[in-house]
């Protein structure tokens, strides 16, 4: 699904709650290239309107076409302040059921609960981090991941960032940066892959 929110292009794959905020660059013959926060191309729009979608399964691209103009819900449901810890616990329990290792999520729960913007970004950061862990757990890095990584720490900061420090995945969101001011699962997965 694709939507435009205040001149920001958003992409969401059906079956996933993650929203990717894309950057747009001009392409040949009046087209546009849309990229993830990692710089990888996800969509190419030809000047005449044709779409090509690039995925991990189809890195050479596949043609896409408009199927429907009406989308009931683009954004996943919001998480209430009182439910934020349970949301994080549910994410970690789902990981533990799928993979033979445990990962916890730590945050300043009181700080997150005080602001809708901070809570929304923190929820996205947690969700995106668990999607990234799943990506790596499906590959050859699973054993290293299970031995040396057990905590995701989500914090507020001046800029969105993902980094590993002493076996802890640090995810920073920036409440002043708007809805896109947190790293995507692809950016987080890249940091994890470099660490392991």
User: Per the domain annotation, does 69 fall within a domain?
Assistant: no
Give the residue from 24, 39, 64 where a domain finishes. Answer: 64
Q: What would the pLDDT profile of 164-195 be if each residue is shown by its tens digit?
A: 998 899 999 999 999 999 999 999 999 999 98
Q: Which domain holds residue 124?
A: 81-195
**CB contact at 8 A, 104 and 96:** no
Report the C-alpha gap between 39 and 35 in whole angstroms.
5
CA distance 188 to 20: 13
Strands 62-64 and 51-53: antiparallel
Do 133 and 174 lie in one domain? The reply is yes
Task: Write the DSSP symbol of residue 91.
Answer: H
The reply to whether the predicted model has a pTM over 0.75 is yes
Domain count along the chain: 2
Same domain, residue pair 101 and 54: no
86 and 58 within one domain: no
Lowest mean pLDDT among 129-133, 136-140, 177-181: 136-140
Say whether both 91 and 54 belong to one domain: no
Clarify whether residues 191 and 117 are in a common domain: yes
């Amino acid at each position: 699904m694709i939507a435009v929110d205040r001149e920001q292009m958003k992409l969401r794959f059906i079956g996933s709650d993650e929203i990717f905020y894309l950057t747009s660059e001009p392409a040949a013959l009046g087209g546009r290239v849309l990229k993830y926060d990692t710089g990888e191309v996800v969509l190419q729009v030809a000047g005449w309107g044709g779409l090509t979608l690039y995925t991990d399964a189809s890195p050479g691209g596949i043609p896409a076409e408009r199927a429907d103009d009406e989308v009931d819900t683009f954004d996943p449901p919001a998480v209430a302040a009182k439910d934020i810890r349970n949301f994080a616990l549910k994410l970690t329990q789902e990981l533990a059921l799928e993979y033979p290792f445990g990962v916890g999520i730590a945050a300043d729960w009181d700080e997150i609960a005080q602001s809708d913007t901070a809570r929304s970004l923190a929820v996205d950061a947690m969700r995106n981090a668990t999607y990234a862990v799943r990506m790596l757990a499906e590959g050859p890095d699973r054993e290293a991941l299970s031995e040396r990584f057990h905590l995701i720490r989500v914090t507020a900061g001046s800029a969105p960032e993902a980094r590993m420090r002493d076996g802890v995945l640090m995810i920073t969101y920036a409440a002043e940066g708007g809805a896109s001011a947190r790293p995507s699962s692809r950016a987080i997965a890249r940091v994890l892959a470099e660490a392991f």
